[in-house]
Amino acid sequence: MRQTLSNIYRLGVKELWSLWRDPIMLVLIVFTFTFAVYSAASSMPETLHKAPIAVVDEDQSPLSQRIVSAFYPPHFMPPAMIAPAQIDPGMDAGVYTFVLHIPSGFQRDVLAGRPAEIQLNTDATRMTQAFTGSGYIQQIVLGEVSEFMSRHRGTAASPVTLETRARFNPTLDKSWFGSLSQIINQITMLSIILTGAALIREREHGTIEHLLVMPVTPFEIMASKIWAMGLVVLVASFLSLTFVVRWLLGVPIAGSLPLFFTGAALVLFATTSIGIFMATIARNMPQFGMLAVLVLLPLQMLSGGTTPRESMPRLVQDIMLAAPTTHFVELGQAILFRGAGIDVVWPQLIAVTAIGAVFFGIALARFRKTISSMA
């Protein structure tokens, strides 16, 4: 047992030195846990942020001025006042995403109770902002008209008062969710890529034959790659959580980081085994890259980190229970977002451990078969 542990340790140190001499992988690690995390948190695609808007105010009335003054950052840029002839050139050039056209006599028609029309031009090529922003603008215009009319016509107070309380994210800041979810996704992605690349690098450089003549077993070779690459991912994710998420983005961490990284270590046990299994199937790095796309996309998109699992078909939910990322997303969100303790996440910890043991056994059997064919 002592010799086995010594072999696993020394082989793992060799993997770390090999990684240190691979500048491409080092750049990938740094990029994944810095810029990728920051960009995912600060550029949420569904967020309406500083959308350019212009207003054609032909009415020049107090009501139209109220509507114009209702658009302000951070959702919209300060409105640009333009003439009707500037609408089409401005939208064709992509200068404005929204152009609100208030016709002459708008306030007069509203006060007289006659049908009043207002035109909203939207650049639908900016699909996400167009959909979200159109709803925002409609609510703003109707709200300003309603408040303006309430000075002249009384409205009955609603018998029901609805109080909204946002738990775990009181300001509804989407960067909180984006950054932490990206950390969870990057742990999965990088662990598979690093471990698989480490084995393929051995094969391409011919050093796997050197290992075959050494007094080491396939179990020791595989275990060394798992602990070495897993340690790199754990250290990188810890630094990213500390400096990028908490310091640069100012996102608070609600739960226990030791508990989260305990769960992450168990997940890495499974995902690194998946990486080794994929490396035994692929013959070279290009094949491994294509295979990684087929594996990583379902793991990230169907595990609940991007969209809630409840919105997926029941069959997909049941199939994804066999994926370690499904339980890791539940575990990570519960700890980092809601401050859950081990009394809440212990089912996910057990599930991840069991899945990791199964994947490790499958990968080890496949690795032994591959080694035997090369011997």
79 neighbors 54 (Cβ within 8 angstroms):
yes
* Inside any domain, residue 135: yes
Cis peptide before 74 (omega within 30 of 0): yes
* Inside any domain, residue 98: yes
At 342-363, the pLDDT tens digits run 999 999 999 999 999 999 999 9
- Reported pTM: 0.73
* Inside any domain, residue 163: no
Average pLDDT over residues 52-80: 92
* Inside any domain, residue 305: yes
Q: Which domain holds residue 33?
A: 2-43+170-374
What's the domain count of the chain?
Answer: 2
Domain co-membership, 213 together with 334: yes
Eight-state DSSP code of residue 158: P
* Inside any domain, residue 164: no
* Inside any domain, residue 159: no
Residues in the chain: 375
DSSP secondary structure, 38-102, as one string: HHHHH--TT---SB-EEEEESS-SHHHHHHHHT--TTTBPPPEE--GGGHHHHHHTTS-SEEEEE
Domain co-membership, 209 together with 334: yes
* Inside any domain, residue 198: yes
Domain co-membership, 29 together with 57: no
* Inside any domain, residue 229: yes
Q: 175 pLDDT exceeds 80?
A: no
Domain co-membership, 39 together with 87: no
* Rounded CA separation 20/37 (Å): 22
Residue 199 buriedness (CB in 10 A; 0-12 / 13-18 / 19+): buried
Q: What is the pLDDT of residue 354?
A: 95
Average pLDDT over residues 304-330: 88
Domain co-membership, 243 together with 353: yes
* CATH number of the structural domain spanning residue 81: 3.40.1710.10
Domain co-membership, 8 together with 78: no
* Rounded CA separation 79/51 (Å): 10
Closest by Cα among 273, 271, 270, 255 to 331 = 255
